[in-house]
A = this chain, B = another copy of it.
Amino acid sequence: MRVGIARERRSGERRVAATPDTVRQLAGLGLEVLVEHGAGEESGHSDASYEAAGADVVDALELGDLDVLLHVRPLEPETPARLRPGAVTIGLASPSTELPTVEALRDAGVTAFALELVPRISRAQSMDALTSQALVAGYRCVLEAAMRLPRFFPLYMTAAGTIPPAKVLVLGAGVAGLQAIGTAKRLGARVSANDVRAASADEVASMGGTFVHLDLDAADAGGGYAKELGADRAARQRQLLAPHVADADVLITTAAIPGRPAPLLVTAEMVAAMRPGAVVVDLAAESGGNVEGSVAGSDVAVPTADGGGMVTIVGMKDAASTMPGDASRLYAKNVANLLALMTHDGSVEPDFSDVVVVDACLTHDGEVRHPATADALEAV
């Protein structure tokens, strides 16, 4: 069966859905692999290296001839109609924001798998692209901050005096946040972190960070509806975070809720209360932002309230694509592992009795199989 890997076309996207390494894996499963000319260029893989791994490099993929299409970014809405009914696609699909593509996949009878929907169970960890790409993003946030901070991360004791370590505060301690904590710690900063999940305190400590405990019980005390309570709690959270933010040289925010706008953790007022030269990196900038005033893909300079200088807010965009080599290495492996799960004797046949296949499936046989996305389409 024929597996195609296209060159990604979205501006800013530098990753690729297969590497020579995974081409070897797929060829070993008895699959025929076609790679579009230049697909791996930005991540360091030449056409020749794909050919050496057993792929055919072609000038343009004939989508109608493919049994499987592997991709990174969600497909364009016009792509599914060019695939044959029953063809399989595997990649990031961002179902909550790319509804027109979901409809097109459904209408074309494509069996589409969305990596965002891979269940977080141990057996599927090797296919979990959200985790692998968050690793890259978390590491990257720290580099972006270190490049812009007018001072060192580590402590230095020199003949001209002692330089204290930079203070880094990380809000949101999921995969990206924990990686940011670990990387900032490696670089020598003093790192603290907070997450609304109480269980994350141990994880933060395991990466070398100090967990910031917020007294949020008071927010639960009053009566009222869940939604109002939520808003109260969020406001109280910001109030309690304010002194920690003001004391940080670097603030990294990574609180994201898949398919929903990111929570606002830091107000403009909190940013302005930071020291001149402080740096804020908002990893959630693309999904609405954790920080008021952040703009995805841009640096925004905000005057400090004391008039002494500026705080820089970095709105992260395409974070994983900034390190396309290793990001693709992990992503391609995630994709290949999911495809391998569905491949038997050289034939790709998704087994719909497997929970990984069932959960990851977005569309199949003319239907939207992911309930939340089906509901969202109904609501349109």
Cα A309 to Cα B328 in complex, Å, equals 16
Identical subunits present: 2
A329 at the interface (CB under 8 A from B): yes
Are A44 and B160 interface neighbours, CB within 8 A? no
Cα A333 to Cα B163 in complex, Å, equals 12
A337 at the interface (CB under 8 A from B): yes
> Contacts of A126 on B, CB cut-off 8 Å?
159-160
Tell me the residues in window 291-328 of chain A with beta carbons closer than 8 Å to chain B beta carbons: 306-309, 323-326
Cα A355 to Cα B183 in complex, Å, equals 45
Tell me the residues in window 176-220 of chain A with beta carbons closer than 8 Å to chain B beta carbons: 183, 186-188
- Interface 9-residue window, one of A55-63, A93-101, A144-152, A228-236: A144-152
Are A154 and B186 interface neighbours, CB within 8 A? yes
Choose from B128, B163, B326 the contact partner of A330 (Cβ within 8 Å).
B163
Cα A276 to Cα B44 in complex, Å, equals 6
A135 at the interface (CB under 8 A from B): yes
> Contacts of A143 on B, CB cut-off 8 Å?
143, 146-147
Q: How far is the CB of A154 from chain B (nearest CB, A)?
A: 7
> Contacts of A149 on B, CB cut-off 8 Å?
323, 325
> Contacts of A276 on B, CB cut-off 8 Å?
44, 46
Cα A160 to Cα B48 in complex, Å, equals 24
Are B150 and A309 interface neighbours, CB within 8 A? no
Q: How far is the CB of A257 from chain B (nearest CB, A)?
A: 23
> Contacts of A152 on B, CB cut-off 8 Å?
136, 139, 323, 326
Are A330 and B160 interface neighbours, CB within 8 A? yes
> Contacts of A161 on B, CB cut-off 8 Å?
329-330, 333
Closest residue of B by beta carbon distance from A160:
B333
> Contacts of A159 on B, CB cut-off 8 Å?
125-126, 128, 131-132
Closest residue of B by beta carbon distance from A14:
B150
Choose from B49, B160, B333 the contact partner of A334 (Cβ within 8 Å).
B160
Are B44 and A277 interface neighbours, CB within 8 A? yes
Q: How far is the CB of A103 from chain B (nearest CB, A)?
A: 31
Type the 1/0 row for A268-279, where 1 means its CB is closer than 8 Å to any CB of B: 000000011100
Closest 8 CB pairs of A and B: A150-B325, A125-B159, A46-B308, A151-B326, A160-B333, A151-B325, A44-B277, A44-B276
Q: Which residues of A contact B (CB under 8 A)?
A: 14, 41-46, 48-49, 125-128, 131-132, 135-136, 139, 143-144, 146-147, 149-152, 154, 156, 158-161, 163, 183, 186-188, 275-277, 306-309, 323-326, 329-330, 333-334, 337
11 contacts across the A-B interface (CB closer than 8 A): A46-B276, A126-B159, A126-B160, A128-B159, A128-B160, A135-B156, A139-B152, A143-B146, A152-B323, A160-B337, A163-B326
Known: A44-B277, A48-B308, A150-B325. 8 other contacts (CB 8 A): A44-B276, A126-B159, A126-B160, A149-B323, A151-B325, A160-B330, A163-B330, A277-B325
